Amino acid sequence: MVRATGPRAIPCGVPTRRLNWTTVWLALLLGAWALSALGTYWLSQSSGQDIILCPLRRYTGVPCPTCGGTRAAVALATLHPMRALAFNPLVTVALVVVPLWALRRWTKGHSPIDWFPSRRVVWFLLALLMLNWAYVLWHQYGAALALRHN
pLDDT tens-place string over residues 47-106: 888 777 778 888 888 898 988 888 898 899 889 999 999 999 999 999 999 888 888 887
- When divided into structural domains, the chain yields a total of 1
Beta bridge partners of 3: 10
Is 46 among the domain residues?
yes
Give the number of other CB atoms < 10 A from CB of residue 102. 19
Q: What is the pTM of this model?
A: 0.67
Residue 70, classed as helix, strand or coil, is helix
Dihedral over Cα of 137, 50, 56, 86: its sign: negative
Per the model's pLDDT, the better-predicted residue between 147 and 124 turns out to be 124
Residues in the chain: 150
What are the Cα distances from residue 116, in Å, to 72, 74, 97? 27, 30, 17
Report the alpha-carbon distance of residue 4 to residue 11 in Å, rounded: 9
Is 68 among the domain residues?
yes
Is 13 among the domain residues?
no
Is 73 among the domain residues?
yes
Is 144 among the domain residues?
yes
Find out whether 129 and 94 touch, Cβ atoms under 8 Å.
no
pLDDT tops 60 at residue 15: no
CA proximity to 99, closest of 41, 26, 36, 32: 26
The pLDDT tens digits for 29-57 are: 878 877 877 787 788 788 888 777 778 88
Summarize the confidence of residues 103-120 as an average pLDDT: 78
